[in-house]
């Protein structure tokens, strides 16, 4: 068994929060058309530095190994370097998700000094297209500079791009850009609804035909799995957990089924709470539709998206079904 499978299996079975995503702010200097964060979240009260550090410490004690800092735009918070340094001091793998526009030479140096393990930058394509998604005219130029500064510091950097109708043709450019700059690329074409259920972002999703073309072009090879359990039961809440900037704990940031609140509970209390226990009691029988669905072996359903779509995380997710149909055809 590969070590990655070993660690995944142990933490999945023993329910250890291996991988935590912490949103540290709702604020952002961009206004991306597809963003899942509602505009009005920006005024919400967010966790203090000390609170976040305390939560990270508790997660370490429970066996956590990976921390992702995201937002909003995490680099808006001045304590971000301190938070990264703190998590590194506790021997976490630390990743930072950013739009890149706030990274100048000095910030790149501070990131290097903080010990961050990897920076993932959202990059949507050539200048006109990128700026028409972020709705900010200098954002493309800033991202390109940010990548240069990060590379100069020797920081492991990846570019990340949701493929939408508006930037469908851009992946060729991004792949070329990544190749020339020795960067890892991550493409996705699932757009999730906003955290409050508003489905506006999903109107930017590409058509099924384009998804098929794209998957064929990148020679996507879906490993068909006949194991119903691994296909249906997601890791969210088992070895993955999501914490929002206002201190709420969710199985995953994409799964807006609130489990607890760090403003009046410890992380440990939440992790071992009844609500989490109940969520983890799920078994195949809960998935009435999926159990008898002929797409189950190719479906990559997300309970969080199903929950937003249907208010029931066991039901069929229309987003997953759309994608599964395409995967089945290729």
Ligand X SMILES: C[S@@+](CC[C@H](N)C(=O)[O-])C[C@H]1O[C@@H](n2cnc3c(N)ncnc32)[C@H](O)[C@@H]1O
Write out the residues near other proteins by the rule CB under 8 A.
3-4, 6-7, 10-11, 14, 16, 18, 60, 63-66, 88, 91-94, 115, 117-118, 156
Integer Cα distance of 245 and 106 in angstroms: 26
Instruction: From the list ligand X, ligand SF4, other proteins, none, pick the one residue 31 interacts with, judged by a Cβ distance below 5 to 8 Å according to partner type.
Output: ligand SF4
**Interface with ligand SF4 in residues 92-151 (CB under 6 A):** 99
Q: How many CB atoms lie within 10 A of CB 110?
A: 18
The nearest distance, CB 162 to ligand X, in angstroms, is 5
Looking at the Cβ atoms of 46 and 239, the one nearer to other proteins is: 239
Answer positive or negative: Cα dihedral of 295, 296, 298, 304. Answer: positive
Integer Cα distance of 237 and 271 in angstroms: 8
Integer Cα distance of 22 and 237 in angstroms: 14
The alpha-helical segments, DSSP class H, found in the chain are: 3-14, 49-61, 80-89, 105-114, 127-134, 139-152, 170-180, 208-217, 228-232, 267-271, 274-280, 288-291, 303-310, 318-329
Mask of contacts with ligand SF4, 304-323, x by CB under 6 A?
------------xx--xx--
Instruction: From the list ligand SF4, ligand X, other proteins, none, pick the one residue 320 interacts with, judged by a Cβ distance below 5 to 8 Å according to partner type.
Output: ligand SF4
Instruction: From the list other proteins, ligand SF4, ligand X, none, pick the one residue 321 interacts with, judged by a Cβ distance below 5 to 8 Å according to partner type.
Output: ligand SF4
231 in helix, strand or coil? helix
Please give the backbone phi and psi of residue 121, each rounded to the nearest 5 degrees, phi first: -105, 135
Which stretches does DSSP call E strand in 1-85?
Answer: 19-23, 66-70
Interhelix angle 208-217/318-329, rounded to 10 degrees, is: 50
- 37 touching ligand SF4, by CB under 6 A: yes
- Exactly one of 71, 260, 303, 304 binds ligand X (CB under 6 A); that residue is 71
257 in helix, strand or coil? coil
Looking at the Cβ atoms of 17 and 170, the one nearer to ligand SF4 is: 170
- Exactly one of 20, 27, 59, 73 binds ligand X (CB under 6 A); that residue is 73
Integer Cα distance of 107 and 148 in angstroms: 12
Mask of contacts with ligand X, 20-39, x by CB under 6 A?
--------x-----xxx---
* Binding-site ranges for ligand X (CB under 6 A): 28, 34-36, 70-71, 73, 97-99, 122, 160, 162, 191-192, 201
Instruction: Using CB under 6 A, list all residues that contact ligand SF4.
Output: 28, 30-32, 35, 37, 71-73, 99, 289-290, 293, 295-296, 299, 301, 316-317, 320-321, 324
């Amino acid at each position: 068994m590969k070590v990655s499978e070993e660690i995944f299996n142990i933490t999945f079975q023993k329910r250890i929060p291996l991988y935590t995503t912490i949103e540290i702010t709702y604020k952002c200097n961009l206004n991306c058309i597809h963003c899942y964060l509602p505009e009005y979240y920006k005024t919400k009260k967010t966790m203090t530095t000390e609170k976040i550090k305390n939560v990270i410490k508790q997660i370490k004690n429970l066996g956590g190994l990976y921390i992702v800092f995201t937002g909003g735009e995490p680099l808006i918070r001045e304590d971000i370097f301190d938070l990264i340094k703190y998590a590194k001091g506790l021997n976490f793998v630390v990743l930072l998700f950013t739009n890149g526009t706030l990274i100048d030479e000095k910030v790149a140096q501070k990131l290097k000094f903080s010990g961050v393990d990897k920076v993932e930058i959202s990059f949507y394509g050539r200048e006109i297209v990128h700026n028409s998604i972020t709705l900010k005219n200098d954002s493309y130029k800033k991202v390109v500079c940010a990548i240069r500064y990060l590379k100069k510091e020797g920081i492991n950097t990846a570019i990340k791009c949701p493929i939408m109708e508006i930037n469908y043709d851009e992946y060729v450019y991004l792949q070329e850009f990544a190749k020339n700059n020795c960067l890892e690329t991550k493409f996705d074409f699932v757009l999730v609804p906003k955290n409050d259920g508003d489905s506006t972002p999903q109107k930017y999703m590409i058509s099924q035909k384009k998804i098929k073309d794209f998957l064929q072009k990148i020679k996507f090879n879906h490993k068909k799995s006949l194991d119903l359990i691994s296909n249906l039961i997601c890791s969210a809440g088992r070895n993955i957990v999501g914490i929002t900037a206002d201190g709420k704990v969710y199985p995953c940031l994409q799964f807006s089924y609130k489990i607890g609140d760090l403003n009046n509970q410890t992380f440990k209390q939440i992790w071992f709470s009844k609500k989490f226990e109940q969520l983890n009691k799920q078994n195949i029988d809960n998935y009435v539709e999926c159990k008898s669905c002929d797409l189950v072996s190719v479906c990559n359903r997300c309970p969080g998206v199903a929950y937003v779509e249907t208010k029931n995380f066991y039901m069929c997710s229309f987003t997953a079904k759309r994608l599964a149909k395409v995967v089945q055809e290729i």
